[in-house]
Structure 1
Amino acid sequence: MACHTRSNSFPSRSHPLASNFEEHLRKLRSSSSIFCRLNGLQDLHDCVDKVLCLPLTQQALAQEQQKKRVDELLNGSLKLLDMSSIAKDALLQTKECVQGLLSALRRRRRGDEISSEVKKFLASRKAVKKTIKKAFRNLKACSPCNISEEHETITILREVEAVTFTVFESLLSLIITGEPKAQPKLSGWTSLVSKLVQPNKRVACEEEESDINEFKKVEVALSSFIAHKSPTSKLDNIFHVQNQLKELETSIQDLEQGLECLSRTLIKNRVSLLNILNH
């Protein structure tokens, strides 16, 4: 990461960990798919865990003057775990509703009975969105600090926190709206961080279509289903609705798997920071 001055506490460019760290950041920058970005975060935090296990890193962060910063990183890690928990709860609730609606559709009830199930699904989605928005108001991105006054390892870990926050924010936006959140224009070091996860525009055109994805497509399909007045029209539309629901169910399962793996690594990193703080 050329914007920083290397210190003895962080691996030099020739060290495999430093090379891996920068490679993971490049991959995050080149991907616009939320699935790929979650996997990229997993790789990035795995690398962070290895860095935190280095004796030089532990000695540097255990210094008295760094303990306040380490404590701030711990607060940030807790915030990221909260965001992961919010996302997992929302995905689980949505998946359960998808499975319930698919079950009703397979039983081939009359059109009006299916419409009642569809309305329950849409009401549940509305509740999920409300819950996410309420919880998200209490979560703020990490505050920018003067890099020159920070230990380099602290700066790097704060950048990782900001990158992770950005991806989680995009995921929650996807769950709410069906589209990943557009990145805001930022200044200072936060702008540098946001650029790490900005997708290449050419790649975005190819990948984002799959992300504008099943959440939004299902709601459109179900709203159209409700709008049809003719029972025959409703029944004719069942197969389309079923296909959209199955695609959403598959996407949710993929997101859940990515979040679960990432959460375990976030917890592992948090334990490492706690051990350093209590050293």
Structure 2
Amino acid sequence: MVAFSQTPWSRYRVRSISLPARSHPSTIRVEQQLAKLRSLDSSSFSSIEAICSSLSGLVELYRCINEVLNLPLPQQALAVLRGEIWVQELVDNSVRFLDICDNTRDAILVIKESIRDLQSAIRRSKYEDSGVENSITSYICSRKRIKHESLKKSITSLRQTDYTAGASPPLQIENEVTAAVIRVLREASSVTSSIFNSLLSFLAVPMNRRPKPSRWTLVSRLVQKGAITRNNHTERINELVNLDMAIDRLQLESLNRDGEAKEKIQSMIRERLQGLDWSIERIERGTEGLFRELIHTRVCLLNILSQ
């Protein structure tokens, strides 16, 4: 199982982060958006709704940051320190976040396609037919593959970001404008790392399955997951885990050869797949929007430092 580090958002926190040119609306919105994202409870990021909200906030944050980076004072402040470690850290993070976002987009696309394949198979046939069995196997394999390929690379990159941030020397800049710009960009990086951690943790939920599980293996797994004893509380669980539990129950009913029970479980799976498909699309839109803003941020930084 992959272990995720939790980025402490207080790592870069200072008593006051006041950007220059406060009369400009973009500078005020950056501070407001950072305050919103800092107030989010990272322990609640186990649902798609919470993740979508955080992604939306992150997109707006970078949109405002990009507007600020086009202002003369911030540009001058960063240009003066183009050779300093604090500025290089920001440039390096811009590359890492772009790569992480791109890998995450690829993983989401694979999940979405496997969900739709499973939807089609369940609509077309009953569980006895190989179509559904093959689609379930394909879905499980896709989840495992993205966890160990795309998501693993992103997790490693995030750890490097966290390590670099922890090893970075204290900010010692006399110019108030320059210090404020660096501080706010570093805190944006900290918040971004934390939200990516939550998103990757959600997508990489464990998939510990055997190709042909026995009846008692399935019963044991369902009890451990709470699908039998706590079925009324499944809405509080990661939506991907909810779907896993429904698939486990379908496999159990297949072993019982109870046609009516299987039809009920298939109906449940169809409902959860439909909701999950819509939710994954929302995450996809969020990561697409974030990717565009991150590209803009990197271009702004490179343009400023090349002056």
TM bin (shorter chain): 0.7 to 0.9
1:101-250 equivalences under 5 Å are 101-113=118-130, 114-135=132-153, 136-140=155-159, 141=162, 142-144=164-166, 145-150=168-173, 151-177=179-205, 212-228=237-253, 229-231=255-257, 232=259, 233-250=261-278
What is the Cα deviation at residue 118 of structure 1?
1.5
Corresponding residue of 1:3: 15
What is the Cα deviation at residue 22 of structure 1?
1.9
Classify the secondary structure of the residue corresponding to 1:177: coil
Q: In structure 1, what is the Cα distance between the partners aligned to 2:82 and 2:302? A: 16
Aligned AA for 2:145? Answer: A
Structure-2 change in CA distance of 1:20 and 1:217 (3 Å): same
Aligned AA for 1:222? Answer: I
Checking the alignment, whether the CA contact within 8 Å between 1:90 and 1:132 is kept in structure 2 is yes
Classify the secondary structure of the residue corresponding to 1:111: coil
Structure-2 change in CA distance of 1:168 and 1:110 (3 Å): closer
RMSD: 2.4
Q: In structure 1, what is the Cα distance between the partners aligned to 2:286 and 2:265? A: 32
Aligned AA for 1:137? Answer: T
Checking the alignment, whether the CA contact within 8 Å between 2:239 and 2:276 is kept in structure 1 is yes
Structure-2 change in CA distance of 1:79 and 1:211 (3 Å): farther
Structure-2 change in CA distance of 1:16 and 1:147 (3 Å): farther
Checking the alignment, whether the CA contact within 8 Å between 2:235 and 2:242 is kept in structure 1 is no
Structure-2 change in CA distance of 1:236 and 1:88 (3 Å): same
Q: In structure 2, what is the Cα distance between the partners aligned to 1:64 and 1:120? A: 51
What is the Cα deviation at residue 65 of structure 1?
5.8
Q: In structure 2, what is the Cα distance between the partners aligned to 1:5 and 1:127? A: 42
The alignment status of 1:20 with 2:48, answered yes or no, reads no
Aligned AA for 2:37? Answer: L
Report Cα offsets for 1:163-217 as digits up to 9, x if no partner: 1011011001011128xxxxxxxxxxxxxxxxxxxxxxxxxxxxxx978432111
Q: In structure 1, what is the Cα distance between the partners aligned to 2:180 and 2:118? A: 51
Percent identity reads 35
TM-score normalised to structure 2 length:
0.73
What is the Cα deviation at residue 126 of structure 1?
1.6
Structure-2 change in CA distance of 1:251 and 1:21 (3 Å): same
Work out which of the two has the higher radius of gyration on C-alpha atoms and give 1 or 2. Answer: 2
Of 34, 43, 46 in structure 1, the residue corresponding to residue 51 of structure 2 is: 34
Q: In structure 1, what is the Cα distance between the partners aligned to 2:142 and 2:171? A: 48
Corresponding residue of 2:176: none
Corresponding residue of 2:88: 71
Of 262, 269, 273 in structure 1, the residue corresponding to residue 297 of structure 2 is: 269
Q: In structure 2, what is the Cα distance between the partners aligned to 1:117 and 1:273? A: 45
Aligned AA for 2:287? Answer: L
Structure-2 change in CA distance of 1:210 and 1:165 (3 Å): farther
Structure-2 change in CA distance of 1:272 and 1:62 (3 Å): same
Checking the alignment, whether the CA contact within 8 Å between 1:62 and 1:277 is kept in structure 2 is yes
What is the Cα deviation at residue 42 of structure 1?
0.9
Which deviates further from its counterpart, 22-31 or 51-60? Answer: 22-31
Corresponding residue of 1:80: 97
Structure-2 change in CA distance of 1:210 and 1:25 (3 Å): farther
Corresponding residue of 2:110: 93
What is the Cα deviation at residue 127 of structure 1?
1.6
Classify the secondary structure of the residue corresponding to 1:237: helix
Unaligned runs of 5+ in 1: 179-208
What is the Cα deviation at residue 26 of structure 1?
2.4
Unaligned runs of 5+ in 2: 1-12, 45-49, 174-178, 207-233
Aligned AA for 1:143? Answer: A
What is the Cα deviation at residue 70 of structure 1?
2.5
Corresponding residue of 1:185: none
Classify the secondary structure of the residue corresponding to 1:21: helix
